[in-house]
């Protein structure tokens, strides 16, 4: 039930603002079923990114992706090594801290120039954090936060879809993917579809500032809970 609600909310948030499945679902999964991190949140991110990509292809910034996606490959290798090298508790702490850092940056972020250098750095960082903790969105999303919403959503959908496939491939090579993770992800797939459809239907009627504040509060609460649980 809790995992289903997290998947529903994560899909809803991502359909509205372009990212959010990892930020919302990963801390909750880390609390309820830490053995399913990072594979389950990554699978959920794959579902929502694929669904959004089917409906929003016209505004993709292919130039930006040409720099960011290749840089995610070496980041994925580093992230897969981190999953093998560290314990569930250590990854839980990293996941919680990554969420808190992402929230803090989102609150205080200024405009960051979209250049080949920043795109490569964001792509690499997303590969590391996305594979190790399933939260890879903030690094690349910060670059597109001032772009038109349609451009941000469609471009991030491509980045997340391809990037998550890379992360899952890296985790598969390292032997970190379990059958349980895939089974739970398949069970939650219909919930992701519902969250995406609801988010798509209402996103133009939601006041973005108020919604963004609520999302950041939920993410912060989840991260703090996970951090305490991992340290105690």
Average pLDDT of every residue of the chain: 87
Q: Is 205 exposed, middle or buried (0-12, 13-18, 19+ CB in 10 A)?
A: exposed
Cα–Cα nearest to 127, from 72, 69, 187: 72
Those residues with Cβ within 8 angstroms of residue 11's Cβ, 6 or more apart along the chain or in another chain: 21, 44, 47, 48, 191, 192, 193, 194, 195, 196, 199
- Report pLDDT for 136: 81
Tokens of 14: 């991502």
pLDDT, tens digit (0-9, with 9 covering 90-100), for 29-46: 988 998 998 999 999 999
**Furthest CA-CA distance within the chain:** 48
- How would you write the pLDDT of the chain (232 residues) with one tens digit per residue? 899 999 999 999 899 888 889 888 988 998 899 899 899 999 999 999 999 988 778 889 999 999 999 999 999 999 899 888 988 788 888 878 888 887 887 777 666 788 999 999 999 988 988 888 888 887 788 788 778 888 888 999 999 999 999 999 999 998 889 999 999 999 999 999 999 999 999 887 877 677 667 667 867 887 888 788 788 7
Angle of CA points 52, 56, 60, to nearest 5° = 115
- Report pLDDT for 215: 67
Share of the chain residues as helix, strand and coil, in percent rounded to the nearest 5: 85, 0, 15
Angle of CA points 55, 211, 65, to nearest 5° = 40
- Report pLDDT for 48: 96
Tell me the CB-side half-sphere exposure of residue 11, using CA atoms within 13 A: 27
Tally Cβ neighbours within 10 Å of residue 217.
11
- Report pLDDT for 211: 67
Tokens of 29: 């999964």
- Report pLDDT for 110: 63
- Report pLDDT for 17: 81
- Report pLDDT for 47: 96
Helix 208-231 to helix 88-108 angle (10° resolution) is: 150
Q: Where are the domains of the chain?
A: 2-231
């Amino acid at each position: 039930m809790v995992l289903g609600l997290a998947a529903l909310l994560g899909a809803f948030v991502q359909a509205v603002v372009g990212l959010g499945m990892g930020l919302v679902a990963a801390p909750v999964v880390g609390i309820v079923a830490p053995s399913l991190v990072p594979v389950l949140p990554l699978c959920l991110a794959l579902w929502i990114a694929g669904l959004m990509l089917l409906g929003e292809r016209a505004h993709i910034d292919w130039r930006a992706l040409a720099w960011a996606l290749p840089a995610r490959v070496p980041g994925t290798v580093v992230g897969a090594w981190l999953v093998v090298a560290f314990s569930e508790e250590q990854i839980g702490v990293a996941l919680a801290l990554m969420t808190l850092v992402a929230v803090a940056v989102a609150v205080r972020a200024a405009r960051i120039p979209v250049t080949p250098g920043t795109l490569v750095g964001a792509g690499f960082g997303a590969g590391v954090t996305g594979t190790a903790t399933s939260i890879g969105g903030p690094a690349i999303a910060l670059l597109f936060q001032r772009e038109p919403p349609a451009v941000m959503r469609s471009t991030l959908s491509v980045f997340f879809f391809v990037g998550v496939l890379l992360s899952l491939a890296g985790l598969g090579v390292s032997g970190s993917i379990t059958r349980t993770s895939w089974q739970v992800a398949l069970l939650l797939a219909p919930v992701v579809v519902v969250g995406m459809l609801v988010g798509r239907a209402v996103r133009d009627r939601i006041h973005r500032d108020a919604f963004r504040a609520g999302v950041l509060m939920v993410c912060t609460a989840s991260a703090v809970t996970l951090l305490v649980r991992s340290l105690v």
